[in-house]
């Protein structure tokens, strides 16, 4: 268990560019979950962050966030997270996973995000957004719909696009993007990044995981192209690297930029953890700062050995092999489990999702369980102190 420490605004920060090796310490103790971390010009009060979680709740099907998003994301910030990363937010209308997904392709969406980011910031958390394009996995019914698969055009759906005309199992066949259209996607990510900054987001994550468009380009199982965006690993990574460079140029040098990878397709002949480490190193050179390491999502029907922390080893592999900063995800459900991941040097931050849905105040409870005093418990809640379970 981490020794009792008090985190205050004056606590020294750790710059991740100099802390990528195992055995990082603060004084005579290892780094812990509640030690701050700095990425470029942005300080995060702790290393326990909210992973992006799709809500499928843009009610008018126009990509505009609603009061649901304000309350949902605001509660997570109030609960003590170091960063709150909003769900996969599409850079084009055709890039939405479902017709009810959020977007940042117009100024109405930008303006609707501003009160949300302002509230997150007011609670001491860093507001982040995951910019995405779903590619061949777009235009689908949301998970709780009675219907599944692709939404037809006459019901609000659209023609999907992908690196190649290879369908995801159970979905309609996409149209392969032309080389010129691929270049247009780089511009769409760049413009969405500018809107993200103007909307008040202080962190951007690029979604190159879970079988969505950037992942589709990376994996040879979905990318059968013969132009400069297909074939070799360098070519398959070209779009992602162009997006990273374009976004970095747009947001400037002091702005944190993350990339989420699926470290393996869990399928023979697919994308794997060594490919991920290689491309993470290239992405770092292109301007990315930290890599959020998940797995899977590209192909259906694969066997995945799911268990507590089952994806942490991939974050550790990428961190070690590429010498980059990583975030760990995947069935991380307890305070000691999360703290050990950071203290042992397996990852630099921990991103959680379902546990935050169960308890938006999980960080405050986790700190109590670990014996860590925090100075950011909401004053309005101090009559009900957070205690270990």
Q: Are 147 and 158 in contact (CB under 8 A)?
A: no
**Alpha carbons within 13 A on the beta-carbon side of 189:** 31
CA distance 260 to 88: 11
Question: Measured in whole angstroms, how far is the alpha carbon of residue 248 from the centre of its chain?
Answer: 17
The yes-or-no answer on residue 310 being catalytic is no
Closest by CA position to 160, among listed 143, 186, 138, 183: 138
Backbone angles phi, psi at 79, to 5 degrees: -80, 0
56 Ramachandran zone, left/alpha/beta (phi>0; psi -120 to 50): left
Closest by CA position to 338, among listed 26, 33, 4, 31: 33
Q: How far is CA 173 from CA 92, 152, 159, 269, in A?
A: 19, 12, 9, 22
Question: Measured in whole angstroms, how far is the alpha carbon of residue 46 from the centre of its chain?
Answer: 17
DSSP E strands, 214-287? 257-262
Query: One of 212, 229, 255, 376 is an active-site residue; which one?
Result: 212
CA distance 327 to 314: 10
CA distance 110 to 295: 30
Mind telling me the catalytic residues?
A: 212
């Amino acid at each position: 268990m981490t020794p009792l420490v008090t985190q205050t605004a004056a606590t020294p920060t750790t710059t991740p560019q100099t802390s990528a090796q195992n055995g990082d310490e603060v004084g005579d103790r290892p780094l812990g979950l509640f030690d701050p971390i700095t990425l470029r010009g942005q300080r995060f009060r702790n290393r326990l962050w909210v992973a992006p979680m799709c809500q499928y709740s843009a009610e008018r099907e126009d990509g505009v966030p609603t009061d649901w998003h304000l309350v949902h994301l605001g509660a997570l910030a109030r609960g003590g997270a170091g960063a709150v990363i909003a769900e996969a937010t599409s850079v084009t209308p055709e890039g939405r996973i479902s017709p009810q997904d959020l977007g940042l392709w117009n100024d109405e969406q930008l303006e609707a995000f501003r009160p949300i980011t302002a509230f997150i910031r007011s609670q001491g958390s860093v507001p982040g957004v995951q910019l995405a394009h779903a590619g061949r996995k777009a235009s689908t019914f949301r998970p709780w719909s009675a219907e599944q698969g692709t939404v037809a055009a006459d019901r609000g759906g659209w023609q999907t696009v992908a690196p190649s005309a290879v369908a995801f199992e159970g979905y309609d066949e996409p149209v392969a993007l032309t080389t010129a259209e691929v270049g247009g996607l780089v511009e769409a990510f760049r413009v969405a990044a500018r809107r993200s900054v103007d909307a008040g987001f202080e962190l951007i994550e690029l979604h190159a995981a879970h079988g969505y468009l950037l992942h589709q380009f990376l994996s040879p199982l979905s990318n059968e192209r013969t132009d400069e965006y297909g074939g070799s690993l360098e070519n398959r990574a070209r779009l992602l690297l162009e997006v990273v460079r374009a976004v970095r140029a747009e947001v400037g040098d002091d702005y944190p930029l993350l990339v989420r990878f699926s470290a393996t397709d869990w399928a023979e002949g697919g994308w794997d953890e060594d490919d991920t480490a290689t491309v993470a190193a290239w992405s770092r050179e292109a301007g990315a700062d930290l890599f959020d390491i998940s797995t899977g999502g590209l192909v259906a029907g694969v066997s995945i050995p799911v268990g507590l922390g089952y994806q942490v080893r991939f974050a550790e592999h990428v961190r070690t092999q590429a010498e980059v900063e990583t975030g760990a995800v995947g069935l991380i459900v307890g305070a000691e489990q999360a703290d050990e991941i950071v203290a042992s040097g397996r990852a630099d931050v921990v991103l959680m999702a379902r546990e935050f849905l169960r308890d938006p105040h999980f960080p405050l409870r986790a700190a109590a369980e670990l014996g860590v005093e925090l100075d950011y418990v909401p004053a309005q809640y101090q009559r009900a102190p957070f205690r270990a379970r």
